[in-house]
Amino acid sequence: MKKISTLILALYATVTHAELQTLDNDALQAINGQAGADLSLMLNLNQTANGVFDNGSGGVCENVEFCHIGLAINKRFVQADPSKPSGWAENSDSGNKLWLVFKGVQGTLNIQKMGLDGADLKYLDKNNTEMIKPAIQLSFSAAQPILIRNFGFNALSIEQDNFTSSTTAQGSSANMYDYAYFKKPTYAATANSANQQVATATPSAYDHGRETGFMGLMMNGNLAIQGKVMVFSCDGSHPRC
């Protein structure tokens, strides 16, 4: 991390420097004839070294609530309403906030090799004059695929806070388990619910003990990608921007 942090800091530093000179397209094109960088990047999230969910004793996900990702991106709440079959009525402004919670988020992603180079692209800009644009060129080789191991999540669930919030005020609680994204109910083995377990009318041995939700997604394999991707800034002179 130290090196990356340094790099990022360095970038920030250069950007914020008040006497920075314009590095325009011409200046960028003047630099040539040098090889780029080859990157390899391995991401291991919530897994042991052999790509298994690390929820054993002492593992990072021994407490599964810490291996959740919660998203609340669309202003949805529920308010208690005994007249509804679920006991809750939807509300768009206030109530217990709803979260989309990814549970058991995990995965190992190993980008064995990604080439990072610069390249020039030519196109006609909005004034129909030819533009030479420097671009970042990311390249991949199928012979060195991206290794994906058990990348995904165990369950996707909609959970709600145990306290009320509104569009203008975020509620809070002293108990972490009142927050939707820390909730970790699992399916009970029987129709009777035990502590932290969800009763179910149709008990299932398959689901017993799993965190609640409605679907999971898991990827496994070697993603062989061949080719390169040019990435460049689409500024105001580009006809598409």
Partner 1 sequence: MTTLNYTVRFQKTVLASLIGLCISQPSFALEELSDAGLSETTGEGIAILPQNTYMVFRGAGTNETTNQILTDRTKDTGYINYVPVGPLSMTSADTNKNGSVDSGDRAVGKADIYLYGLALSKSDNNTNTRIASTDAAAAISSWGTAVNPWIFKVATENSVPNFSANNCTGATDPTCQLTYLALEAPLYEIGTKDTAGIDAYKLKLGLWSDIFVRNPNKINGAADQFNYGDSNGLIGTSTDATRANRLRLQGIWNNFSLNGSRLQVFQTLGGATTSGGMSPFYNNTLGIAGVIRLNSGDSKDVKAITTSSLTEGSTTSPWTLIHAGANSTLSTSTTGDCNNGGTGSFGTSAGCRYYVEKRTRTDSKTATKTWDASGLSNAGVLRLSTRETSDSGNLITPAINGGVAPTFDANEGVYLYNPNINLVLGTLYQPLILGSDGKNFSLEIARIANKPEIYKQIYTDYSGADTSYKGSTCNVYQCGNQLTLGGKNYQGYNATHSSITIGTAFSEDGGKTLRASTDEGAVGISFGKLNSGTVSRTTSSNQMTEVHYKQRGVNTQTWVQSYSCTLFICGAGTTGYLYQWEYNNGSTPWAILAPTTKPADATCSTTIGCSSTSGTTPMYGSIANRVWANSSAVWLTAANNEVNNLIGANNGMTGTTFPTLNQAPTPVINSSPINNLGSAVIDGVLIQHLKLTTKGL
| Three-class SS state of 197 | strand
Q: How far is CA 110 from CA 2, 102, 159, 216, in A?
A: 20, 22, 32, 22
Among positions 16-45, residues that touch partner 1 (CB under 8 A) are 16, 18-25, 28, 31-32, 34-45
Determine if 169 is a binding residue for partner 1 (CB under 8 A).
no
| Calpha distance 15→38 (Å, rounded) | 24
CB of 172 to partner 1, least distance (A): 20
Residue number, 32 or 195, with CB nearest to partner 1 = 32
CB of 192 to partner 1, least distance (A): 14
Among positions 117-146, residues that touch partner 1 (CB under 8 A) are 117-118, 121-124, 128, 133-136, 140-145
> One symbol per residue from 175 to 214: x for binding partner 1 (CB under 8 A), - otherwise; what is it?
------------x------------xxxxxxxxx-xxxxx
| Calpha distance 111→224 (Å, rounded) | 10
Give the containing element (helix H, strand E) for 7.
helix 2-16
CB of 5 to partner 1, least distance (A): 11
| Calpha distance 121→124 (Å, rounded) | 10
